[in-house]
Structure 1
Amino acid sequence: MSDPIRHISFDLDGTLINSFAIMQEAWEAATEKLRINCGFAEYRRYVGLPFPRILELLGLSNFEMELNELYFAHTRRLYDRIDQIDGASGLLDWCREQGFGTSIITSKPRANSELIIERIGFSVDALVCGDDLTRGKPDPMAARIVCEQTGATPAEMLYVGDMIFDFQFALNAGMRFVMLAPDGGAPLPRNLLNHVDRIGTLAAVRDHVG
């Protein structure tokens, strides 16, 4: 029998916040300035992985320093245009009222994440960001940090994300997982044998914790 869920952890981009339009604007501005031919659709396929790993997969590691500075500086300038996903604040409030621990685990830099979280008003027990880690998703390092900070165990945790890398991360960490997939969500690999629970709205997370 599974341990009862005591802690609910969330991805940030595409799960708690609507940020892809800002990410696209920042990516296109950065690549245009550097005269790099790589569209946002290619970049978006890997969102959720650490930024250096995304650039490696795109063959852009030689531009890592310049892209890191241009891209994240641009998104910081536009942070006040980022809104929460419908129901995000309400779900976090409900988690607190019901006694669940909460956390956000994101590949975003801490400076960007804290600006957004503070402006929107999210309140969680732990925040782990990409630059807090030497090994990002799907490595389970971030989950171990949350466990150390909150006293939860992976078997007691549910992770909510929107990408296949979020699922791989939860699987590697030993957490349960549910994918936020409005309109079907991100496609999953055809050879994936594991069942992935999908929900269309954040409010449906409540059904997964009883």
Structure 2
Amino acid sequence: MTTLKHISFDLDGTLINSFGNMKIAWQGATEALHINCGFSEYRRYVGLPFPKIMEMLGLKNYTTELSEEYFTRTRALAGNIPEIPGAKDLVKLCRDEGYKVSIITSKPRKNSEDIVEKMGFQVDELICGDDFTKGKPDPYAGFLVCKKLGVTPAETLYVGDMVFDFQFALNAGMQFVYFDDNGANRMPSNMVNHCDRIHTLPELAARLA
């Protein structure tokens, strides 16, 4: 097995529980623009680049306006986002054990940097939606972060909570661990049976210590 040198994390649903704030922001943004699209529909595609989500929802023509409304509202709520239990300790442990640590998210940088700073996540690289034109499951962001950190994808473990995270890791040639948050996160059974899984973040911490 290839030596592990780098641990990379998804942000939403993996390190932070931001879905409550997302719901408030999405409902406010769609109401302001008189768009009829519930949060449950949007939630299905979280993890993909925002323009791709808009395309999937049939809202491509509203991408610019809805992006501005939505991300302005999520930034205003950023101070109220709780961490997933054990997230900060896990990130610190990874660094203490000598691993390179990164976060890859589809969020815009001005949203992501604020959250990462407020949560106290100390990482070597933060790759955001502004850094690439093709988001998950395209492997570009994975190649980018590995190049920046001087590691290979095979030396990288990606931790995520969505099917798009699994596909992304496979496409990039990374190792992968699926975080199911004690069953709160769901992945198709034909896929989840073929990936490593943890129920809590402390489980991964115990493996790495």
TM bracket (short chain):
over 0.9
Paired position in structure 2 for 1:140: 139
Q: Deviations over 1:20-42 (max 9, x none)?
A: 00000000001111111111011
User: CA 1:51 to 1:206, structure 2 compared with 1: closer, same or farther past 3 Å?
Assistant: same
Aligned residue in 2 for 1:206: 205
Shift >4 Å, 4+ stretches = 207-210
Of the structure 1 ranges 198-207 and 57-66, higher mean CA displacement relative to structure 2 is found in 198-207
Q: Which amino acid aligns with 1:134?
A: T
Contact 1:108 1:129 in 2 (8 A): yes
Q: Which runs of 5+ in 1 are unaligned?
A: none
Paired AA for residue 83 in structure 1: P
Q: TM-score, normalised by structure 2?
A: 0.95
Matched with 1:67 is 66
The alpha carbon displacement at 1:4 in A equals: 1.5
Write the distance in 1 (CA, Å) between the matches of 2:178 and 2:16.
15
Contact map agreement 1:140 1:173 (CA 8 A) in 2: yes
Distance 2:85 2:49 in 1: 26
**Alignment match, 1:99:** 98
Structural mapping, 1:37-186, within 5 Å: 37-186=36-185
- Conservation of the 8 A alpha-carbon contact between 1:162 and 1:185: no
Q: C-alpha separation between the residues in 1 aligned to 2:82 and 2:185? A: 20
Alpha-carbon separation, structure 1, partners of 2:37 and 2:103? 29
Q: Secondary structure at the match of 1:37?
A: coil
Q: Summarize deviations over 1:71-114 as a string: whole Å, max 9, x none.
A: 00000111111121111111111111110110000000000000
Asked if the contact 1:6–1:101 (Cα under 8 Å) also holds between the matched residues in 2, the reply is yes
User: CA RMSD, aligned part only?
Assistant: 1.4
Q: Which amino acid aligns with 2:79?
A: D
**Displacement of 1:196 after TM fit?**
1.8
> 1:188, CA displacement in angstroms?
2.3
Structure 1 position 60, deviation (Å): 0.4
TM-score (norm 1): 0.95
For residues 188 and 132 of structure 2, the distance between their equivalents in structure 1, rounded to whole angstroms, comes to: 27
